[in-house]
Structure 1
Amino acid sequence: MKRRAPAAERNRDPILDILRRVLSDGAFALEIASGSGQHTAHFAAHLPGVTFQPTDPDSDALASIEAYRAELDLPNFLRPLQLDASEDTWPVSRADAVVCINMIHIAPFRACEGLFRCAARILPAGGVLFTYGPYRFSGSFTAPSNEAFDASLRERDPSWGVRDLDDLQRLARQTGFVHEETVPMPANNHSLVFRKTA
């Protein structure tokens, strides 16, 4: 029932370091595309003052997340909810932060558009939208491995692919976010911090 993704174990601590800075005690963080649930479990265990609401569109992923939740039995690790980022209706109407790890490159771009649009709707002024993954920067890849990864993604599904920061900044402007920070991460990934304006 519990899934295990080796990449999640490798990147969970570097991501946690960023979340420690951008999430305040008392915050309610909505996690989009929580996958196996490993990240949620790790973050909830190490940030007891932050409540994490995991979500995923996939029923098998939801079962894995629930298995991690039941095992840890932490009050700040909520039961997972089904959520498709590309849909306009989300099961959560308010959050202080939206966290999205390794989703936008393995989903159609409309999921990325939905992420920004719906995050803008549920976040207050000053709320954080955090994304993590591989990115292009003004059309350029940060490493040959990311270019090869992009090609393999597009071969699997032409609507997938490593997204360009320029496109994300455009979405941010359209939906009322400012791009606050880009943080280089291990394995040619980056963390992006967007903040909702008033």
Structure 2
Amino acid sequence: MIWLNYSEACARNQAVILQQLAPLLPSTGSLLEIGSGSGQHAVHLGAALSGLRWQPTDLPANLPALSANLLHFGSDNISPPLALDVTAEPWPVTAANVIYSANTLHIMGWPQTVALLQGAGRLLTPGGLLCIYGPFRYQGQYTSASNAEFDRWLQQRDPRSGIRDFEAVNEQALAQGLELERDISMPANNQLLVWRKLAQEQVGSRKVKGGRGK
């Protein structure tokens, strides 16, 4: 079998994402992936992080190809994919130690981005991690000329999409009890953002952190 909906971008970035995430993630527990796409990240990262139970999800229309890929290429710790629309409640998963999503925020609209962060605030266990990979702007500025061009292309294709401002995303994350722990610069002008879910008693004493290079 060949990969359905194969992504060259996933093939290029999966090794470096794993390199950065592996030291941060728990050795056991549950990981919910939002917007699994072809399932390449689930297969590559899931095989390396074998102690985590990986739960892929995507919109219903994308499940047939995702399911076929995971059935053929997946490992024992990868669960069958579930349909998940971040704006539709309740979500099909009620709790997770880690939530991971790659190259989704600039594709979905802003209301969907907020819904994803709200869902992370509800589902993550105290101390759990939200890990988001993709391009971002900082203080209204793109991190590269190619990202600016990419953003123009995105908005011409769908005005609801576009590269998100880190500050706006982080503000929404803070409102859900999530504190920024890492902002890692990645190849191809992308970032890996990692927030930690605070315990209730920690929320009042948290400190606001800026982004980039942490």
TM-score by length of structure 1 reads: 0.96
Percent sequence identity is 38
Secondary structure at the counterpart of residue 114 of structure 1: helix
Q: Answer whether contact 1:29 1:52 (CA < 8 A) is retained.
A: yes
How many residue pairs were aligned?
197
- Look up the match of 1:139: 140
Partner of 1:26: 28
Cross-structure match for 1:86: 87
Deviation at 1:43, TM superposition (A): 1.0
Q: Structure 2: 5+ residue runs without aligned partners?
A: 200-214
User: 1:148-198: CA deviations, max 9, x gaps?
Assistant: 111111111111100011001110111110011110111000100011111
User: Who is 1:189 aligned against?
Assistant: 190
CA distance in 2, matches of 1:89, 1:103: 20
Instruction: Return the offset for 1:125.
Output: 1.0
User: CA–CA distance in 1 between the matches of 2:171 and 2:194?
Assistant: 14
2:106 aligns to what?
A: 105
Q: Is the helix fraction higher in 1 or 2?
A: 1
The Cα shift of 1:64 comes to: 2.1
Partner of 2:6: 4
Structure 1 counterpart of 2:127 = 126
| Match for residue 38 of structure 2 among 28, 36, 39 | 36
Question: Using the alignment, how far apart are the partners of 1:67 and 1:92 within structure 2?
Answer: 21
- Normalising by structure 2, we get a TM-score of 0.89
| 1:50 Cα deviation after fit | 1.1
Distance 2:23 2:64 in 1: 30
Residue range with higher mean Cα deviation, 121-130 or 71-80:
71-80
- Answer with 1 or 2: which has the greater Rg: 2
Distance, in Å, in 2 between the alignment partners of 1:113 and 1:56 is 17
Secondary structure of 2:22 counterpart: helix
Tell me if the contact between 1:54 and 1:78 (Cα under 8 Å) persists in the aligned partners: yes
Q: Which runs of 4+ in 1 moved over 3 A?
A: none
1:18, distance to aligned residue in structure 2 (A) = 2.1
Paired residues of 2:43 and 2:74 also in contact (CA < 8 A): no
- Over the residues paired in the alignment, what is the CA RMSD in angstroms? 1.2
1:154 aligns with 2:159: no
The aligned amino acid for 1:69 is: L
Aligned to 1:53: 55
Check 1:192–1:73 CA distance in 2 against 1; reply closer, same or farther (3 A cut).
Answer: closer
**Alpha-carbon separation, structure 2, partners of 1:174 and 1:5:** 33
**After the TM superposition, which of the residue ranges 28-37 and 1-10 deviates more from structure 2?**
1-10
CA apart distance, 1:73: 4.9
Amino acid in structure 1 at the alignment position of 2:163: V
Q: CA deviation at 1:19?
A: 2.1
Query: Following the alignment from structure 2 to structure 1, what is the Cα–Cα distance between the partners of residues 38 and 103?
Result: 12
Give, in angstroms, the shift of residue 85 of structure 1: 1.6
| Distance in 2 (alpha carbons) for counterparts of 1:163 and 1:55 | 22
Distance 2:128 2:82 in 1: 21
